[in-house]
Amino acid sequence: MKNKDSISHVTGTSIYIDDIITRSDTLHGVIFASQKAHGKIISIDYSEAEKLEGVERIFTFKDIKGENQIGGIIQDEALWAKDEVHYAGQPIALIVAKSSFIARQARGLISIEIEEFKVITTASEAKEKKLFVSNPRHFSIGNTEEAFNECTYIFEDVTFTNGQEHLYLETQGCYVCPEENGHFKIYSSTQGPTILQKIAARVLGIPMYQIEVDVLRLGGGFGGKEDQATSWGVMAAVAAQHLNVPIKIILDRHDDIKFTGKRHPYESSFKIGLTKDLKIHAFEADFLQNSGASADLSPAVAERTLFHATNCYSIKNVHTSVYPCKTNLPPNTAFRGFGGPQGMFVIESAIAKAAHQIGVCKSIIQKKNLLQENDIFSYGQIAKNVETENSWNLAMELSNFSIIKEEIKQFNKNNKYIKKGMAIMPITFGISFTNTSMNHARALVHIYLDGSVGISTAAVEMGQGVNTKMLQIASQEFGIDASKIKIESTNTTRVANTSPSAASSTTDLNGKALLKACIVLKNRLINIAARELLSDKKDLKFENNYVINLTQTKKISWEELITIAALERVQLSEKAHYATPEIYFDKKAEKGHPFAYHVYGTSVTTITLDCIRGTYEIDQVDIAHDFGKSMNLDIDLGQIEGGLVQGIGWMTLEEIAYNKEGILTSNSLSTYKIPDVFAVPKKINIKAIETNGNDLAIYKSKAVGEPPLMYGIGTYFAIQDAIQNFNPNYEQKFHAPFTPEKVLLALYES
Ligand code: MTE
Ligand code: HPA
Ligand code: MOS
């Protein structure tokens, strides 16, 4: 099935928040934020701004009727700063005016005096001062101390991975309409409608039922709208509560980049020990997460770093720690991979270091240590249906590895100033929210009198194609054309108490709930069909808009069946709830079975490096990926390509820069470079591994949203490989992104 949104996207008729036709009395909000990263607010003068023609009112913490508190996991974040500011970009007030243009003008008229405090921008500084947003966590298996004594080789080093701007095409925004009796309808570009509903109720001081959140679709989220779409919706709701008119907030790109958190930068260190036959016998890592000024999702992101710290390698003795460090940056947040990529970069760096020091190819150590069936992860889950070796072998085949490797060798021999490099990146990623209680979803299905169907779930469409997959499920179960089915907007009144669309689990969770509801309806309808067709229920099939008796070639049309059912007062609506079975996690012991299943795959990346300029091109990426039994290969291939390129951007070009004062200097698209058409691989080959899928994946079609981002990590090591082919004096560094500037320095260091 084609992506159901493709025609409206291409013709420009898809509706995003800014396209909603607004009431004529709508006012517009612009956020006044701190320009200092840390300090005490001495005074603020709003009088000039308030005098500006068209300014309606300026809202601050004083206007909050409930709690000035938007923290999710930990309640440590104010909606609007009261006495102190903790990062540049922290909201202080909302200016509401006749237009956003006027509101922005007014913003320039506000004067503020701040007594500046010391600014901390790095995780290591924060750790030294013992500033954390939440407690450190430690995962352990075996005994690393003893194991290191048994190792022939031991290597240690430090690594750094920078943050990453989400750069969803649709900036953050919301439109809030007051309704009668103090109720509010919030249209929001959020991955988490319930989070927004809950926090808006908390801040406004009203029950959740007075707030209805509605989400049609997002112009991309990538994790950046899991928690951080909330505050805009809440601010607008506070203004609507006071003014009783609709309020709209759409952040412009500059505001969006400056105000919102990003992927967490990590400063990490590792110690890896290998036996003489190159088995990784012990691994230790400390991860310093730059969490930003408040917790946001950082504790959960930190946890996932530990879950993925050994990637898809079999290591018996592991000890890893993560420290969520409190700094004066915007609170960093979910970003595709959710801490996993940061963990995986470190183990790959450790292997690269060991390989170089020992004098073997990195792939030899990788290959020797690939995860095997029934291996135990450091968190206690037993690896099942492992496809690591399988994907590795297939990727070798797909890329013609041994031939290409020889060609690269020859090429590098024959070329002085152009070098090629290559790297292999096997991955595994756990599917489920790491917080077990979040792994459930609901669906609501209405069959209307004319046989058309309306479906509501908690799934938020953000470009990943989940609505198309929901459509496929209902269409397949009922055996009717997709044109008879509508996927409704995601709405907290129709489907309540939902988890955000995240953790790559949206299709699994919501799809399973939808499937359950459809099956109940089918069972109800089949009784009628059996009677009408004088057939046994088990001989009936829902197919091609009919219920057909296969043995007697009798059939009844879907519409006819629904007409009869309605006349006989049969319930044509159904809701269902699905909670992932089998999963649990004991946070005291740091052991359990947190994931429904794992996704596997391997990429092979080859690059060409211009050793005069320090620039590089990615020639080819070959990927063998475990889709299970993909229910929509077109969409899933799109997810692989998008994830890969996003991972490449993180590893190569995208350089977030804050100065010492904690001011974001990479604050626009002229100073923050994301991959363009020249930066993407010239060729991407993707092959599906033939697997049985997994019963906890909907239709055995495994989750695909986040895992492919981590194929991009291979790019870093392919560039490193090319540099090593040019400069024998280059001392390995593990400091991403590997921008052309850094590459050039590496090429000529002595
Ligand atoms: N693909 C597109 N086009 N846009 C997005 O915002 N988000 C990613 C991934 N793929 C995203 C995307 C992230 S961070 C996640 S968690 C998953 O999609 C969420 O959707 P899923 O659970 O349906 O895979
Ligand atoms: N992944 C993504 N988002 C989340 C998670 C997770 O594991 N836990 C809470 N939010
Ligand atoms: Mo994705 S980072 O779980 O929204």
Instruction: Tell me if 436 sits within 8 A of 584, measured CB to CB.
Output: yes
**Ligand 3 atom with least separation from CA of 335:** 2
Which ligand gives the minimal distance to the CA of 594?
A: 2
- Strands 683-688, 615-625: pairing is parallel
* Cα 436 to ligand 2 centre (Å): 10
Q: Ligand 2 atom 6: the closest Cα is on which residue?
A: 433
Contacts of 7 (CB under 8 A, 6+ apart): none
Which ligand gives the minimal distance to the CA of 219?
A: 1
pTM equals: 0.98
Q: Ligand 2 atom 8: the closest Cα is on which residue?
A: 433
- Quick check: helix, strand or coil at residue 290? strand
The per-residue pLDDT for 690 is 84
* Cα 394 to ligand 1 centre (Å): 26
- Structural domains in the chain, sorted by start: 23-117+172-250 (3.90.1170.50), 266-434+587-747 (3.30.365.10), 440-579 (3.30.365.10)
Q: Cβ–Cβ contacts within 10 Å for residue 514, how many?
A: 30
Below-50 pLDDT ranges, the chain: none
- CA pair distance 68, 493, nearest whole angstrom: 25
Q: Ligand 3 atom 4: the closest Cα is on which residue?
A: 223
**Ligand 3 atom with least separation from CA of 226:** 4
**Ligand 1 atom with least separation from CA of 225:** 6
Q: How many helices (H) and strands (E) does the chain have?
A: 19, 30
Q: Ligand 1 atom 16: the closest Cα is on which residue?
A: 502
* Cα 666 to ligand 2 centre (Å): 27
Closest-CA residue to 306 (of 383, 386, 379)? 379
For a mutational test of ligand 2's pocket, the pick from 332, 437, 438, i.e. the residue with the most ligand atoms closer than 8 A to its C-beta, is 438
- CA pair distance 91, 260, nearest whole angstrom: 10
* Cα 707 to ligand 1 centre (Å): 10
**Ligand 3 atom with least separation from CA of 224:** 4
For a mutational test of ligand 3's pocket, the pick from 166, 305, 336, i.e. the residue with the most ligand atoms closer than 8 A to its C-beta, is 336
Report angle CA 15, 19, 25 to the nearest 5 degrees: 140
Q: Is 220 in the pocket of ligand 3 (CB under 6 A)?
A: no
The CA-to-CA distance between both ends of the chain, in Å, stands at: 56
- CA pair distance 301, 123, nearest whole angstrom: 15
Q: Ligand 2 atom 7: the closest Cα is on which residue?
A: 433
Place of tokens 């889950």: 381
- CA pair distance 35, 671, nearest whole angstrom: 19
**Ligand 3 atom with least separation from CA of 705:** 1
- Quick check: helix, strand or coil at residue 240? helix
Place of tokens 């922290």: 90
* Cα 248 to ligand 1 centre (Å): 26
Convert the pLDDT of each residue in 436-482 to its tens digit.
Answer: 999 999 999 999 999 999 999 999 999 999 999 999 999 999 999 99
**Ligand 3 atom with least separation from CA of 222:** 4
The per-residue pLDDT for 550 is 83
Q: Is 336 in the pocket of ligand 3 (CB under 6 A)?
A: yes
* Cα 433 to ligand 2 centre (Å): 5
Closest-CA residue to 122 (of 283, 292, 240)? 292
**Ligand 2 atom with least separation from CA of 433:** 7
Q: Is 643 in the pocket of ligand 3 (CB under 6 A)?
A: no
Which ligand gives the minimal distance to the CA of 304?
A: 2
Q: Facing residues of 442 across strands?
A: 577
Q: Is 395 in the pocket of ligand 3 (CB under 6 A)?
A: no
Side-chain-side CA neighbours of residue 21 (13 Å): 1
Q: Tell me which DSSP letter residue 267 carries.
A: E
Q: Ligand 2 atom 5: the closest Cα is on which residue?
A: 433
User: Residues enclosing ligand 2, CB less than 6 A?
Assistant: 226, 297, 300, 304, 334, 338, 433-435, 438, 502-503
Which ligand gives the minimal distance to the CA of 640?
A: 1
Q: Is 168 in the pocket of ligand 3 (CB under 6 A)?
A: no
Q: Is 281 in the pocket of ligand 3 (CB under 6 A)?
A: no
* Cα 612 to ligand 1 centre (Å): 38
**Ligand 1 atom with least separation from CA of 337:** 14
User: Residues enclosing ligand 1, CB less than 6 A?
Assistant: 220-223, 336, 462-464, 466, 501-507, 639, 642, 703, 705-706
Q: Cβ–Cβ contacts within 10 Å for residue 617, how many?
A: 14
Instruction: Tell me if 305 sits within 8 A of 394, measured CB to CB.
Output: no
Structure tokens belonging to residue 209: 């039922």
* Cα 83 to ligand 1 centre (Å): 37
* Cα 439 to ligand 2 centre (Å): 10
Which ligand gives the minimal distance to the CA of 505?
A: 1
Q: Cβ–Cβ contacts within 10 Å for residue 356, how many?
A: 18
For a mutational test of ligand 1's pocket, the pick from 225, 227, 336, i.e. the residue with the most ligand atoms closer than 8 A to its C-beta, is 336
Q: Cβ–Cβ contacts within 10 Å for residue 216, how many?
A: 20
The type of residue at 555 is: K
SS3 content of the chain, % helix, strand, coil (to 5): 35, 25, 40
The type of residue at 356 is: H
* Cα 322 to ligand 1 centre (Å): 25
* Cα 449 to ligand 2 centre (Å): 39
**Ligand 3 atom with least separation from CA of 221:** 4
Place of tokens 């183990």: 347
Which ligand gives the minimal distance to the CA of 168?
A: 1
- CA pair distance 321, 204, nearest whole angstrom: 39
The per-residue pLDDT for 28 is 99
Q: Tell me which DSSP letter residue 110 carries.
A: -
Convert the pLDDT of each residue in 235-245 to its tens digit.
Answer: 999 999 999 99
For a mutational test of ligand 3's pocket, the pick from 167, 303, 338, 429, i.e. the residue with the most ligand atoms closer than 8 A to its C-beta, is 338
**Ligand 1 atom with least separation from CA of 168:** 6
- CA pair distance 284, 305, nearest whole angstrom: 13
* Cα 506 to ligand 3 centre (Å): 10
Q: Is 227 in the pocket of ligand 3 (CB under 6 A)?
A: no
Q: Is 223 in the pocket of ligand 3 (CB under 6 A)?
A: yes
Instruction: Tell me if 420 sits within 8 A of 618, measured CB to CB.
Output: no
* Cα 222 to ligand 1 centre (Å): 6
Please tell me which residue in 348, 706, 731, 741 is annotated as part of the active site: 706
The per-residue pLDDT for 692 is 85
706 catalytic per annotation: yes
Structure tokens belonging to residue 535: 């057939």
